[in-house]
Amino acid sequence: MKKHWMAIALCAGLGQTTAMATTYKVDFEGTLRSGNKMVDCPADSVDCAGFLQDLPLQGQSFSMSLTFEIGATPGRSTFSTTHQVSTDSSFGRSYDSRSAVERYANWATNDATAAQIPSLPSASTNTFDGAAGVTHQVYTSATRSRNVRSWTDNQQVLGASEGWGVVSTEIWQDASGAGFQNFVALSGRSAFSTASADSYDDREPLAYFLDMLQQSTQCQQCVQLQWFDSSLSQNGLYNGVRVDGVGRLVSITEVAAAVPEPSTYALMLAGVAAIGVAARRRKAGAALKS
């Protein structure tokens, strides 16, 4: 088990957002395949393999819910492509690997009320939650990807696939850099028609992405689960729990927008009143000039 501390946050480039978004709720069920626990791994260790303990979770059934917001952090790319050339050692021929990733959600916020992470089986204790001087950030992401492999000389397609992923992670951190991370990711993958392989870099609407999720409700073991927490204590020790599972999506539901609080209505009414006063003053001024 590698150290997962802050890995997701660093890749995500956390930042504030102000745009509106649509929230979706995903219900998932399945069985756990494996689990382990990391105990007091020193921060200067090359890896933590010697500090792992297996957890008896295999075959354990579970269900969970995860929510994510559709939208992207301003200034961050929502679409990217890559192209790499490699050599097949068996045939001595080079092949092209092309991929495209489209982001439908890519959010980061310091609002602790945006927490989306369900409880983890056999989770370790989070001593940073609610502690003084600790920041709390939430990151959610939803992506679609396509991958195509073909021989370089004649562009014959060797394989094509497409997949989706939904990720949510919470991070607590104090001024010393110590903290706690809680992470969950759901993903699915299926074959992509070789006849359409040249359209690997086509953009697709949100409806296409949601349909991919909906198709994952029709099979029993086509969705992969990664679920872990990890912490770095102030004395430089890593601890954490990780489980892997497989299952299916039960449902994908659009969540209704929250009803504004009474204080929000008060501010709205005050704003309308101020606009009305300003309009009357302009009208009165115009009448005096005439």
pLDDT tens, N- to C-terminus, the chain (290 residues): 666 655 544 444 444 434 456 889 999 999 999 999 999 999 888 888 899 999 999 999 999 988 888 887 777 789 999 999 999 988 899 999 999 999 998 888 877 666 667 778 778 888 998 899 999 988 889 999 999 999 999 999 999 999 999 998 999 999 999 999 999 999 999 988 888 888 999 999 999 999 999 999 998 899 999 999 999 999 999 999 999 999 999 999 998 654 444 443 344 444 444 444 444 554 444 444 44
* CB distance 174 to 127 below 8 Å: no
* CB distance 241 to 228 below 8 Å: yes
Provide, for the chain, the percentages of residues in helix, strand and coil under a 3-state DSSP scheme, each rounded to the nearest 5: 20, 50, 35
Helix, strand or coil, per DSSP, at residue 273: helix
User: CA–CA separation, 187 vs 234, rounded Å?
Assistant: 33
Q: Which long-range contacts (CB under 8 A, 24 or more apart) does 131-135 make?
A: 131/172, 131/174, 133/174, 133/175, 134/172, 134/173, 134/174, 134/179, 135/110, 135/172, 135/173, 135/174
pLDDT of 187: 96
pLDDT of 112: 66
* CB distance 119 to 241 below 8 Å: no
User: CA–CA separation, 285 vs 290, rounded Å?
Assistant: 9
Helix, strand or coil, per DSSP, at residue 199: helix
- Count other C-beta atoms under 10 Å from residue 36's C-beta: 19
Q: From start to end of 131-256, where are the E strands? A: 135-151, 157-173, 179-191, 223-232, 237-255
pLDDT of 256: 66
pLDDT of 10: 42
Positive or negative: CA dihedral 197, 198, 201, 205? negative
User: CA–CA separation, 189 vs 159, rounded Å?
Assistant: 13
Write the burial class of residue 205 (CB in 10 Å: 0-12 exposed, 13-18 middle, 19+ buried): exposed
Write phi, then psi, for 208 (nearest 5 degrees).
-65, -45
Q: Which amino acid is it at 130? A: G
pLDDT of 113: 67
pLDDT of 7: 52
